A and B are shown apart, each in its own frame.
Chain A
Amino acid sequence: MSSWALSLFQRELRLAVRVGGGALVGVLFFLAVVTVIPFGVGPDLNLLARIGPAILWIGALLATLLGLDRLFQADRDDGSLDLILMAGRPLELVVLIKCLAHWMATGLPLVAAAPVLAIFLNLEPTAIGAVTLTLAAGTPALTLIGAIGASLTVTLRRGGLLLAVLVIPLTIPVLIFGVSAADAAVNDPVPFMTPFLILCSLSLISLVVGPFASAAALRFSSD
């Protein structure tokens, strides 16, 4: 990794974990969503175990969306985005590195918290492992797809809601295959690998499409 890329990565991580960075906001929101649902659904343990993977996935999706609007907006607000555009570095790589750092600060804590929260939802050990694995494979796709929405809404004040409306439809395939892979691990006749591999391929596709689309949107944003 060349020095500018490393420098950008370190800056993004530092900004995320320091005051006002919001790295932990996502995971706290995830905790709030997942702990509230058993109270709403009631003490039916079998029902909770059945819908547990879906709850964890929806919680992770919403928690990811929560921090995404600041991905480029924070840099635009203080003029850094102009300088990033003029820096003479490939913008696609810049976006990719920012997404990677953002995922490390917000996505990875979700993956780490998932096994603990899964216990609240009465998931059995296989299901806990499967949900955690699918979240680890799928949350990068959420961040990368979300980056497209974040760069499209970067010029808007309070574009967070519009971002969610834009991004949620695009993330539905990730959600479907993430949850079905986690379900398949518990319910025997369905193979686990088929939906899981599709989930992985969705992540890989968004790894390619996300930075390019996002960089193109940022280039047009600077008017």
Chain B
Amino acid sequence: MEKVNEMAADIVLDLRADKVVESVKQGKRLDGRKFDEYRKITIKHNISENADGSARVTLGETDVIAGVKIVPGDPFPDSPKEGSISVGIEFLPLASPLFETGPPGSEETELARVVDRGIRESKCIDFGELCIEEGKKVWVAYIDMYTMNDDGNLFDASSIAALAALTQARIPKLEIEGDSYKIVKGEYAKKLGLARKPLLCTTTKIAGHLVNDACFAEEKAMEARFSVATTEDGYMSAYQKGGSGSFTAKEIDECIDLAFAKAKEIRKLL
């Protein structure tokens, strides 16, 4: 869509963003939350029977769906014994007046890659276990996410949804005949092993203050954001700084502390 429409959708939000800044300067958020307080999180498992694992997560009014499909694929030449994962997100136009249909934009790509790194680098999935036949076939776990409603902090909502779907995911039963690999529909060999539970926690910087779980208006007002993926056994598996503003090293430390503390709370809901 053209610029004019974007301007229309933006103008009232711009006014709202000014209010956010004004309020945060006075130590308050517009919806009355504490700076580090998350909105209510709900997790619904198994929302799609056709998926090998699925979940729907709401974070306040932000709403994201994730589904996992585990399918036989070709291994990478440099890792013939390892399976892999693939994370994708689509900002569906049904989720916001600002989203439009089309190939993935830079925001979608960034989000998917950060969630991907958080999961992949945490080594929570043993890629070796996803090997079917060395050098020939391996399992690829596709984690596909869709936005249903965007009221900010899609990063954390997506990360929770992806992990919630993975905790449910099962590896299908396979029939091998010579060179043909066929999935037996509706039957499963085993659960997908998940050694740890990496979760992303994003802290935004608004008017010099650190604020967690920014809603849409707060995201409009933020200078920068910093996301950290943490695990329950004290590791961090991904960082991502975004936005045009900056953080001091001290602030980054604070963000990390917040990320561990918040992820711990969220993990209890899984």
Q: Do A and B bind each other?
A: no
Residues of B at the A interface (CB closer than 8 Å) are none
